[in-house]
Amino acid sequence: MEGSLSKDRLLRERFAFDTEKRSSAGIICGIDEAGRGPLAGDVYAAAVILPEGLVIEGLDDSKKLSARKRDALFDEITSKAVSYCIATAAAAEIDEINILNAALLAMKRAFDGLAVRPALALIDGNKAPDLGIPTETVVKGDSKSASIAAASILAKVARDRYMEELDRKYPEYQFAKHKGYGTKLHYEMIAQHGLCPEHRRSFFKRHTV
C-alpha cells in the first residue's frame, strides 16, 4: 500500500512539474531519446505536447515500465496528446556526426514535426538541440516531467518495434532479443556473421568485436 501511495505521489508531482512550467511559459513539449547505447540501429527521439489538466495513470520513465505497460501507455499518449512526433537519426548519420549529435538531430526532427509550436521545450538530460525556442534541460527528466516521460515512452516503444523489424530483416543477429545492445549474444552473432548495414561502425572503434 505504501509503495502504491508513493508511486501515486510521484505521478502527481510529474504532472505538477509541467503545470508549473505552463503557468510561466505557456504551451510546453517534452523531448526524450532512446537508443544512444546500442551497437546497431537508428537513435530515436519523440516530442510530445500533453493537454493541460490531463493525468495519465502509470506514466513513468520508460525504463521503469514493462514492455506491456509501455505499449498500453504508447496508445494512450498518442490518442490524447495535443501533438506528438517521433523521429530518428540513422546509423550512418551516427557514424558521421557521432551519437550525441545524432541524438540531438533526432530530437530536433521530432520537435520540427509537431503540428503545434510550443513556447518551451523540456529536454531530458543536460544537452539541448537548437530548436529556435527557449529550451530547458532536465536531468532525469523522464522521472520529473510528465511530458518528458511521455516522450521517453514513445521513443522507446517506437525503437523497440523498429528493432523487431530489423530482426525480421536480419534474423541471424536476433535483434528482437537484445535490441542492438552490446550483449554477449549480440557479440556472438557479430563474431559469426560480421557487421550488417545497420551496425554503427564508429562504435566498434572502442568496442572489441
Is residue 22 assigned to a domain?
Answer: yes
The b-or-e profile of 171-180 (16+ CB within 10 A means b, else e) is eebebeebbb
Give the residue among 130, 152, 144 at the shortest CA–CA distance from 21.
144
Is residue 170 assigned to a domain?
Answer: no
Q: Which domain holds residue 142?
A: 2-160
- Total tally of structural domains belonging to the chain: 1
Give the whole-angstrom CA distance, residue 76 versus residue 64. 17
- Between strands 120-124 and 83-89, the pairing is unpaired
Is residue 193 assigned to a domain?
Answer: no
Is residue 200 assigned to a domain?
Answer: no
Is residue 198 assigned to a domain?
Answer: no
**CATH number (domain holding residue 137):** 3.30.420.10
Terminal-to-terminal C-alpha distance of the chain: 47
CB 32 within 8 A of CB 155: yes
Per-residue pLDDT 10s for the chain (209 aa) are 435 558 889 899 999 999 999 999 999 999 999 999 999 999 999 999 999 999 999 999 898 999 999 999 999 999 999 999 999 999 999 999 999 999 999 999 999 999 999 999 999 999 999 999 999 999 999 999 999 999 999 999 999 999 999 999 999 999 999 999 999 999 999 999 999 999 999 999 754 44
- pTM equals 0.94
